[in-house]
Amino acid sequence: MSVQAKAVIEGTLFWPFLERHNPMKEGKWTVDLGQLNKAALKTLKEMGLEGNIKEDDTKKVEKEGKPDRGSFISLKTGYQPKVFDKERNDVDANSIGNGTVANVRVTAYNYPAGPTWKAGVSGGFNAVQVTNLVEFVRQAVLDDFEFEGDDFDPSDADDEFSDS
């Protein structure tokens, strides 16, 4: 793989896996960079990433209750990206939620043909500068259940998805 181009692109982060690997992309950190403006789209196209840019179907997004990414590109990297704020302070990647606005250092790289795919250009990234943080808040799994007894507090229960 060879690097073809690099640029810093402003956009909105969706499904950021910046603190750990994305379980659906083994060994990779990933993010969807969305709500891209005309300048960002132009730059990505000039980098050779035009085929990687997608557009959310607004009606489908509304029906499924998912965030509307607008025009977006899915990026991945094999190295943990550096995440920092406008003052160059490190940002806790676990705190970054959908809707966070950021500048992302995007790399376009060529990849060779393989046994089941054609050669092409893919988008990677290695740094994220958070400019407007939307903090990630984990939804309590236990809120969906009914419990008996006045002394039960779901927030005290062990939650396999909690960080503690």
Give me the CATH number covering residue 80: 2.40.50.140
pLDDT at 156 over 90: no
99 within some domain = yes
Reduced to 3 states (helix: H, G, I; strand: E, B; else coil), residue 95 is helix
The verdict on residue 65 lying in a domain is yes
Residue 71 lies in a domain: yes
Neighbours of 47 (CB within 10 A): 20
Note the pLDDT of residue 59: 86
pTM: 0.81
Pairing state between β 2-17 and 29-34: antiparallel
Residue 42 burial by Cβ neighbours in a 10 Å radius (0-12, 13-18, 19+)? exposed
| Domain-embedded: residue 115 | yes
Asked whether residue 156 is assigned to any structural domain, the reply reads no
Provide the residue range defining the domain that includes 118: 2-139
Look at residue 148 and tell me if it is in a domain.
no
Q: Tokens for 83, please give them.
A: 């995440």
pLDDT at 19: 94
In a domain, 36, yes or no: yes
Domain count, the chain: 1
Q: What is the pLDDT of residues 42-100, one digit of tens each?
A: 999 999 999 999 999 888 888 888 899 999 999 999 999 999 999 999 999 999 999 99
Partners of 7 in the beta sheet? 106
Q: With respect to residue 15, please indicate whether it lies within any of the assigned structural domains.
A: yes
